[in-house]
C-alpha cells in the first residue's frame, strides 16, 4: 500500500509533476453558489441581452416544442388508429416513422414561425426604436399574417388575429403585476 503511494507521487511520462511538488500547492476557492451571476460587461454595455441574442434561444425552443408536440400527437394518433394485426417489430417501425414525420413537420413549422417573429421583431426594433409590448404585438400580428399569406386573404386575416391574440395573452401574463397595481389603486 505504501509503495503505491510513493509511486503515485513520482513524476511519470504523462504526469510530469508529482503530488509533492510545492509549486502545485495552490489554494482554490469555490465561488459558484452565491445566488447571483457575476459577469464582466464592457463599459457602456447593457446588462440585458438584446433582441438578436434572445432570438436564438426562442427559435431553438420553438423547434424543440414543435418536435415534442409532434411526438405526442403522433403517439396519440398511432395508439388510436395504429394497426394491431401485425407483429411488434412492424408496429414499432410504424410508430417510429409516424413520430419522425410528425415531429419534424411540427418542429419545422414552429421554427419557421419563430424565425419570422424574430426577424420582424428585430426589424421593428431597429427601424422604430420601440421595444416592449408594442413591438411584441406588432411582430406577432405581422408574423401570423405573413405565415398564412399564401393561403388567401381570409387565412391571412385569421393568422394575424391569432398572432395578435397570442401576443396579447403573453403581454397580459407578462404584466400581471402592473395590472394588479392599476386595479388596486382605484
Question: Of 51, 56, 53, 168, which Cα lies nearest the Cα of 115?
Answer: 56
Phi and psi angles of residue 34, each rounded to the nearest 5 degrees, phi first: -95, -10
* Alpha carbon distance 29, 63 (integer Å): 40
pLDDT band, residue 25 (cuts 50/70/90)? low
Percent of the chain at pLDDT > 70 equals 73
Residue keyed to cell 424574430: 118
Inter-axis angle of helices 88-128 and 133-147, to 10 degrees? 130
Residue 75 in this model has a pLDDT that exceeds 70: yes
Residue 138 in this model has a pLDDT that exceeds 80: yes
Q: Which residues contact 161 (CB under 8 A, 6 or more apart)?
A: 144
Residue 5 in this model has a pLDDT that exceeds 60: no
Cα–Cα–Cα angle for 29, 31, 32, nearest 5°?
140
Look at residue 39 in the predicted model and tell me its pLDDT.
Answer: 63
Long-range (24+ apart) CB contacts under 8 A made by 72-79 are 73/102, 73/106, 74/98, 74/99, 74/101, 74/102, 74/103, 75/99, 77/102
Q: Where are the domains of the chain?
A: 51-185
Residue 26 in this model has a pLDDT that exceeds 90: no
* Alpha carbon distance 133, 109 (integer Å): 24
pTM of the model: 0.66
Amino acid at each position: 500500500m505504501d509503495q503505491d503511494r510513493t509511486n503515485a507521487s513520482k513524476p511519470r511520462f504523462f504526469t510530469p509533476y508529482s503530488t509533492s511538488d510545492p509549486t502545485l500547492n495552490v489554494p482554490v476557492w469555490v465561488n459558484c453558489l452565491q445566488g447571483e451571476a457575476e459577469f464582466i460587461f464592457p463599459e457602456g454595455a447593457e446588462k440585458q441581452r438584446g433582441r438578436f441574442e434572445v432570438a436564438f434561444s426562442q427559435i431553438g425552443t420553438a423547434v424543440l416544442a414543435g418536435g415534442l408536440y409532434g411526438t405526442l400527437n403522433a403517439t396519440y394518433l398511432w395508439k388510436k388508429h395504429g394497426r394491431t394485426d401485425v407483429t411488434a417489430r412492424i408496429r414499432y417501425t410504424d410508430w417510429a416513422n409516424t413520430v419522425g414525420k410528425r415531429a419534424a413537420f411540427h418542429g419545422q413549422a414552429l421554427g419557421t414561425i419563430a424565425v419570422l417573429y424574430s426577424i420582424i421583431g428585430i426589424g421593428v426594433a431597429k427601424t422604430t426604436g420601440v421595444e416592449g409590448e408594442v413591438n411584441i404585438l406588432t411582430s406577432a400580428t405581422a408574423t401570423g399574417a405573413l405565415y398564412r399569406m399564401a393561403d388567401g386573404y381570409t387565412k391571412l386575416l385569421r393568422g394575424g388575429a391569432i398572432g395578435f391574440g397570442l401576443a396579447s395573452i403573453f403581454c397580459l401574463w407578462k404584466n400581471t403585476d402592473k395590472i394588479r397595481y392599476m386595479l388596486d389603486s382605484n
